[in-house]
Chains A and B, each alone.
Chain A
Amino acid sequence: EAGVVQSPRYKIIEKKQPVAFWCNPISGHNTLYWYLQNLGQGPELLIRYENEEAVDDSQLPKDRFSAERLKGVDSTLKIQPAELGDSAVYLCASSLGREVFNEQFFGPGTRLTVL
């Protein structure tokens, strides 16, 4: 079974440029999460989807960040414009169900460097 796929794995951009990250969850997983992981820190939830609906986006900085999950499968996270402080690893995870004890499977992440 294929795991959570993320691309690109690495991205280097100049500040004020836009950037997008893509995530393909495990087949059949209807819950999808985007996390932000700063260096030396644990992941922090940005947004959670149940199918195509964003059910928890309270931690997403909506002035520059946006996300979508069309058709309830793949998801894209966008930053426009990027700032120096956005340099971090962006993790995508998916789970089979909405219950908290359903295991979240994480992708390898996209490491963003903003210069």
Chain B
Amino acid sequence: AQSVTQLGSHVSVSEGALVLLRCNYSSSVPPYLFWYVQYPNQGLQLLLKYTSAATLVKGINGFEAEFKKSETSFHLTKPSAHMSDAAEYFCAVDTGRRALTFGSGTRLQVQP
């Protein structure tokens, strides 16, 4: 079975500070990993995905994530937070079922 754990349901950072959203997965086979962002009253939007190519993945809006097999992690980072980054972020995994298993989400607040 596959699962995703997002540590911290709420993260608050100051504008311009580093953003770090944590995601750990469990999977018995090499996973495909995704980060999605959800703004209020909108659908989910793909930020980036890992599909077994480079372990450091760059996405939209300045976000990136690093796949670390030894730590079973896929943490999302952004060097400098912007007010517009305030949203809910979901990590997801697929081990070939072609169905995403999502974490419970992390709400990012950006303080001015």
* A residues in contact (CB < 8 Å) with B: 3-4, 31, 33, 40-45, 48, 56, 91, 93, 98-101, 103-109
- CB atoms of B90 and A108 under 8 A apart: no
- For this complex, 10 residue pairs linking A to B, each with C-beta atoms less than 8 Å apart, are A4-B43, A43-B44, A43-B100, A48-B99, A100-B32, A100-B98, A101-B49, A106-B45, A108-B41, A108-B42
With A42-B103, A43-B102, A45-B100 known to touch, is A101 a contact of B41 (CB < 8 Å)? no
Chain A-chain B contacts (Cβ-Cβ < 8 Å), number: 58
With A48-B98, A100-B98 known to touch, is A41 a contact of B104 (CB < 8 Å)? yes
Known pairs A41-B105, A42-B105, A45-B99; list 11 more (Cβ under 8 Å). A3-B43, A4-B43, A42-B102, A42-B103, A42-B104, A43-B102, A44-B102, A45-B100, A56-B98, A93-B43, A109-B43
Task: Tell me how far the C-beta of A101 lies from the nearest C-beta in chain B, rounded to whole angstroms.
Answer: 4
**B46 proximal to A (CB < 8 A):** yes
- Select which of A40, A42, A48, A91 is within 8 A of B43 by beta carbon: A91
6 smallest CB-CB distances across A and B, nearest first, come from: A42-B102, A106-B43, A106-B44, A101-B51, A100-B94, A45-B99
